[in-house]
C-alpha cells in the first residue's frame, strides 16, 4: 500500500530514481539535470527519508552549484533535520539574489514557525501571499498561515485565513475542521453554526459542510440537530463512512444504543473495520447489558489494535459484570500495562481485588487512582470506605482529610467524614464536619443517612440539619 505522504510518480520519474539508485549501487557518477534531482529529493521526502534527500542535494550541488531551486531544497531539508539556523543562512543569501521569489519567503516562514518565532513567520507568509496571484497557489498558503496563527494563539485571525482558503475552494475539508476548531477554542460555537449554515446556503450539496455542522452540534450537545446534519451529509454522499460513524456517536450520546450500533456497523460496507469502531460497538452493547456481545467486540478491537488499552479494559468490565472477577484481572492489568496513567483502569483493578478478598492490593490500586486522578471524588471515598470496613478508621479519616485538602469544596467528603468521626467516638468533631457539609451543600444531607442510617435517629444531628434548612 502506498504511504499517504508519498507522491505518485510518472514513469519518467520512476526511471530517474531507478537510475540514481543504480548509480549508488555501482558507485559511479551519473549526470542528472536539476529537475531530475528535484524529483529524486521529493521521492525521498515522500519516503520520510530526509537523510537520503540531503545526500542527493549534496551531490546535485556538485553538478549544479548555482541552482537556486537546489539551494532552496537544501534549506528545506536542513530545517526538516533540525538545522534551522543553517537553513536561514541559505534563505537569506537566496533572498538577496532573488528578492521577489515567494518560495523563499514561504520557506523562511516555515522555518520561523519551527523556531516558534510566529511574528516573523506570519510576516514571511503574508509577504509571499502578496506576491502571488494564482488562487490555486494561494489556497495552501492561506491554510499554512492559519496554522501558524493557531500556533501563535491568534484564533480570530486564523479564522480569517481559513475562510479565505475556503472562498477559493469550498470543498477544502481541512478548512472546515480548522474553522470549527477555532470557534471551539474561542467558545463561540453559535458563530461556527452561523458560518457553516451560510456556506450551506450557498453550497447545499456540500457533504463536508453538513458533516462539520453535525460535529459542531454534537460538541454543543445538540444531538438531534447533529443527527439531522449527518443525515443530510449522507444524502449527498452515502458512502461517507465517517459521517455514519459520527452519527453513531451522536446516537450513543442520546443513549439510543441499538441505533448507534447500526450506524457503526454501516461503516463496514465502505471501509475495513477498525479497532475504534469495534470498541464503540462494544460500549453500546455494554450499556445494553449484553456483556457477551460487548466482550466479542472488544476482543475484535484488540486483535486489530493490541495497543488499544480501552478495549482491554472493556473486556475486564464485561467479565466483572458477570462475576468473573478473577478472569477480569488479566485484562485490566493489560490495560494498565499499556496506559499506566489511567485512573479508571486502576479503579477497576481496586474493585476486582476487593471482590476477590484482597483488601491490601485493592488499597494499593486506590492509591494509584488518587495519584493519577486526584480530582476523582469516588476514588477518595472508595479508598477511605475500604479502610473503614477493615476497621482502620483513623486511616480512613486521614485519607478523607487529604482528599479535603485537594478538593475543599466537596460536600461528599464532609458528609462521609461525619460518619467516620462518629463511629470513632469523636461526636464533637463529627458535628463540626456536618456543619461544613451543610454549608457547602444542604440539599445533599441525605448522603449522610445513606452511608450511616443510624444517624437518622440521633437528635443532635437532626437538629443541626434542620437549623440549615432553607426558610420559605
Confidence grade of residue 69 (pLDDT, cut at 50, 70, 90): very high
Q: What is the mean pLDDT of residues 270-297?
A: 97
Q: How many angstroms separate the most distant Cα atoms in the chain?
A: 100
Q: Average pLDDT over the chain, rounded to whole?
A: 93
What is the pLDDT, as a whole number, of residue 10? 78
Residue 7 has pLDDT above 60, yes or no: no
Residue 233 burial (CB < 10 Å; 0-12/13-18/19+)? buried
Minimal CA–CA distance to 297: which of 318, 266, 325?
318
Q: Which residues contact 163 (CB under 8 A, 6 or more apart)?
A: 175, 179, 195
Interval 107-161: pLDDT, tens: 999 999 999 999 999 999 999 999 998 999 999 999 999 999 999 999 999 999 9
| b/e code 161-176 from CB counts within 10 Å (16+ = b) | bbbbbbebbeebebbb
3-state SS assignment for residue 345 = helix
The highest-confidence range among 58-67, 197-206, 409-418, by mean pLDDT, is: 409-418
Percent of the chain with pLDDT over 70: 98
pLDDT at residue 281 is higher than 90: yes
**Is pLDDT of 5 > 50?**
no
Confidence grade of residue 1 (pLDDT, cut at 50, 70, 90): very low
| Lowest mean pLDDT across 23-27, 238-242, 312-316, 432-436 | 23-27
Say how far apart CA 241 and CA 237 lie, in whole Å: 9
Residues 6+ apart with CB under 8 A from 269: 239
CA dist 355 and 349 (Å) reads 10
3 C-beta neighbours (distance < 10 Å), count: 8
Q: What's the rounded mean pLDDT across residues 283-288? A: 98
Distance CA 193, CA 176 (A): 11
Distance CA 268, CA 137 (A): 37
State pLDDT tens for residues 304-337: 999 999 999 999 999 999 999 999 999 999 999 9
- Under the banding of pLDDT at 50, 70 and 90, the label for residue 9 is low
Tell me the mean pLDDT in the region 219-240: 97
Q: What is the C-alpha to C-alpha distance for residues 449 and 419, in angstroms, rounded to an integer?
A: 9
Residue 3 has pLDDT above 80, yes or no: no
Q: What mean pLDDT is predicted for residues 361-388?
A: 96
pLDDT value at 368 more than 50 = yes
331, 313 Cβ separation under 8 angstroms: yes
Task: Name which of 8-17, 221-230, 386-395 the model is least confident about.
Answer: 8-17
Q: Compute the distance between CA of residue 103 and CA of residue 60 in angstroms, rounded to an integer.
A: 20
Nearest to 284 by CA among 301, 297, 273, 275: 297
Residue 74 near residue 60 (C-beta atoms within 8 A) = no
Half-sphere exposure of 200 (CA within 13 A, CB side): 19
Of 7-16, 42-51, 148-157, 192-201, minimum mean pLDDT range: 7-16
Residue 46 confidence (pLDDT): 84
* Each residue's pLDDT tens digit, 167-214: 899 889 899 999 999 999 999 999 999 999 999 998 899 999 999 999
Confidence of residue 249 (pLDDT cuts 50, 70, 90): very high
- Name the packing angle between helices 155-168 and 173-185 (round to 10°): 160
Amino acid at each position: 500500500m502506498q504511504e499517504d505522504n508519498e507522491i505518485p510518480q510518472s514513469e519518467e520519474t520512476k526511471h530517474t530514481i531507478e537510475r540514481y539508485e543504480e548509480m549508488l549501487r555501482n558507485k559511479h557518477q551519473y549526470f542528472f539535470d536539476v529537475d531530475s534531482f528535484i524529483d529524486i529529493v521529493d521521492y525521498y521526502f515522500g519516503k520520510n527519508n530526509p537523510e537520503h534527500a540531503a545526500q542527493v542535494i549534496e551531490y546535485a550541488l556538485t553538478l549544479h552549484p548555482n541552482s537556486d531551486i537546489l539551494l532552496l531544497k537544501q534549506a528545506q531539508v536542513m530545517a526538516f533535520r533540525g538545522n534551522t539556523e543553517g537553513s536561514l543562512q541559505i534563505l537569506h543569501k537566496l533572498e538577496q539574489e532573488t528578492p521577489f521569489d515567494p518560495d523563499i519567503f514561504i520557506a523562511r516562514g516555515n522555518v520561523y514557525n519551527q523556531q516558534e518565532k510566529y511574528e516573523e513567520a506570519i510576516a514571511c507568509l503574508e509577504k509571499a501571499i502578496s506576491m502571488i496571484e494564482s488562487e490555486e497557489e494561494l489556497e495552501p498558503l492561506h491554510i499554512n498561515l492559519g496554522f501558524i496563527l493557531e500556533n501563535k494563539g491568534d484564533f480570530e485571525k486564523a479564522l480569517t485565513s481559513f475562510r479565505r482558503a475556503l472562498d477559493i475552494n469550498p470543498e477544502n475539508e481541512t478548512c472546515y475542521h480548522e474553522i470549527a476548531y477555532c470557534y471551539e477554542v474561542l467558545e463561540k460555537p453559535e458563530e461556527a453554526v452561523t458560518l457553516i449554515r451560510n456556506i450551506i446556503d450557498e453550497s447545499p450539496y456540500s457533504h463536508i459542510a453538513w458533516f462539520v455542522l453535525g460535529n459542531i452540534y454534537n460538541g454543543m450537545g445538540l444531538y438531534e440537530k447533529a443527527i439531522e446534519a449527518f443525515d443530510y451529509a449522507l444524502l449527498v454522499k452515502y458512502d461517507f463512512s465517517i459521517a455514519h460513524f459520527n452519527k453513531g456517536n451522536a446516537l450513543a450520546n442520546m443513549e439510543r444504543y441499538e441505533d448507534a450500533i447500526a450506524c457503526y456497523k454501516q461503516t463496514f460496507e465502505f471501509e475495513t473495520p477498525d479497532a475504534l469502531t469495534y470498541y464503540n460497538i462494544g460500549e453500546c452493547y455494554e450499556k445494553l447489558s449484553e456483556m457477551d456481545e460487548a466482550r466479542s467486540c472488544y476482543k475484535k478491537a484488540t486483535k486489530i489494535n493490541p495497543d488499544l488499552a480501552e478495549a482491554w479494559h472493556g473486556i475486564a468490565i464485561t467479565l466483572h459484570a458477570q462475576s468473573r472477577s478473577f478472569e477480569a484481572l488479566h485484562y485490566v492489568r493489560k490495560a494498565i500495562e499499556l496506559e499506566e496513567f489511567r485512573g479508571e483502569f486502576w479503579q477497576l483493578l481496586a474493585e476486582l481485588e476487593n471482590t476477590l478478598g484482597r483488601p491490601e492490593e485493592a488499597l494499593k490500586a486506590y492509591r494509584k487512582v488518587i495519584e493519577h486522578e486526584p480530582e476523582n471524588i469516588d476514588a477518595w471515598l472508595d479508598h477511605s470506605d475500604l479502610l473503614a470496613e477493615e476497621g482502620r478508621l483513623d486511616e480512613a479519616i486521614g485519607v478523607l482529610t487529604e482528599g479535603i485538602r485537594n478538593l475543599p469544596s466537596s460536600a461528599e467528603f464532609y458528609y462521609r467524614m461525619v460518619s467516620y468521626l462518629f463511629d470513632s467516638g469523636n461526636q464533637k468533631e463529627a458535628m463540626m464536619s456536618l456543619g461544613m457539609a451543610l454549608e457547602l451543600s444542604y440539599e445533599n444531607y441525605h448522603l449522610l443517612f445513606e452511608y450511616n442510617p443510624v444517624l437518622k435517629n440521633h437528635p443532635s444531628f437532626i437538629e443541626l440539619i434542620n437549623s440549615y434548612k432553607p426558610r420559605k
